[in-house]
């Protein structure tokens, strides 16, 4: 195995360790342990190569910190069919990207909100999803928004009846919300993240 391929395999192990511990190895000795190296010197050389490649960077006190490139994932050349199966093509990779760069276009204006309930089920937004919301007080009719109605957050499609806003669910079991008093737009729905890994329940606003 060439050094570049070996470094890539070590990088994958470091990513798995980072996701498990939510932190980089605390020392070169710990990095060597994670990667199965016999000495901290081998970890030092790997660290320097990954820093030179812009994947890691040196932090205060000799700590090693991840850059955005550390979290990049490979993008396959081929697409995957959601209909009838297609012939399997040789695996190749055209690019790398981070999920954040794909899902988030304006980080300073973006928040994640936990979806609770199934009122937007038919729009493909399910209970437990993380809704990617761009903070803004302006929205156009037909956009899915997070609105604050009488102090409560809700995720619905914005419609109008005359000049009056109506918040439309995408589930026939729910009725439209016609705000009787105060309503403001909190943000516009820009996408969602859904995990199929078993996870512990996490808190979040009910939308």
pLDDT the model gives residue 91: 47
* 10 in the same domain as 64: yes
pTM of the model: 0.66
The pLDDT of residue 90 is 46
Judged against a pLDDT cut of 60, whether residue 24 lies above it is answered with: yes
Q: Which residues pair with 52 in a beta bridge?
A: none
84 in any annotated domain:
no
| Same domain for 111 and 53 | no
26-35, 63-72, 98-107: which range is least confident on average? 98-107
Residue 144 lies in a domain: yes
User: Among all residues, which ones are annotated catalytic?
Assistant: 119, 156
Express the helix, strand and coil content of the chain in percent, nearest 5 each.
30, 30, 45
Q: Which domain holds residue 155?
A: 107-193
User: In sequence order, what E strands does the chain have?
Assistant: 56-58, 64-66, 73-76, 93-97, 110-114, 130-135, 144-149, 152-161, 164-168, 183-193
* Whole-number pLDDT of residue 205: 53
Residue 88 is assigned to a structural domain of this protein: no
Look up the CATH number of the domain holding residue 32.
1.10.10.10
pLDDT one-digit tens code per residue, 126-144: 999 999 999 999 999 999 9
More confident residue, 43 or 3: 43
Number of domains in the chain: 2
Domain boundary among 16, 47, 71: 71
């Amino acid at each position: 195995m060439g050094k570049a391929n070996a470094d890539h395999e070590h990088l994958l192990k470091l990513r798995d360790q980072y996701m498990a511990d939510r932190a980089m190895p605390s020392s070169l000795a710990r990095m060597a342990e994670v990667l199965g190296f016999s000495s901290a010197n081998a970890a030092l050389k790997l660290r320097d190569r990954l820093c030179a490649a812009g994947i890691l960077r040196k932090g205060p006190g000799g700590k090693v910190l991840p850059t955005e490139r550390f979290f990049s994932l490979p993008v396959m050349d081929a697409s995957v069919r959601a209909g009838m199966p297609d012939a399997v093509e040789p695996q190749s990779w055209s690019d790398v990207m981070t999920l954040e760069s794909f899902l988030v276009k304006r980080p300073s204006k973006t928040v994640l909100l936990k979806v609770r309930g199934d009122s937007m089920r038919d729009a493909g937004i399910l209970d437990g999803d993380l809704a990617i919301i761009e903070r803004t007080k302006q929205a156009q009719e037909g956009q899915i928004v997070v609105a604050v109605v009488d102090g409560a957050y809700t995720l619905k499609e914005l419609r109008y009846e005359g000049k009056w806003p109506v918040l439309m669910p995408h589930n026939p079991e729910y009725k439209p919300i016609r705000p009787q008093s105060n309503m403001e737009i909190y943000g516009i729905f820009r996408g969602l993240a859904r995990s199929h890994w078993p996870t512990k329940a996490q808190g979040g606003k009910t939308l």
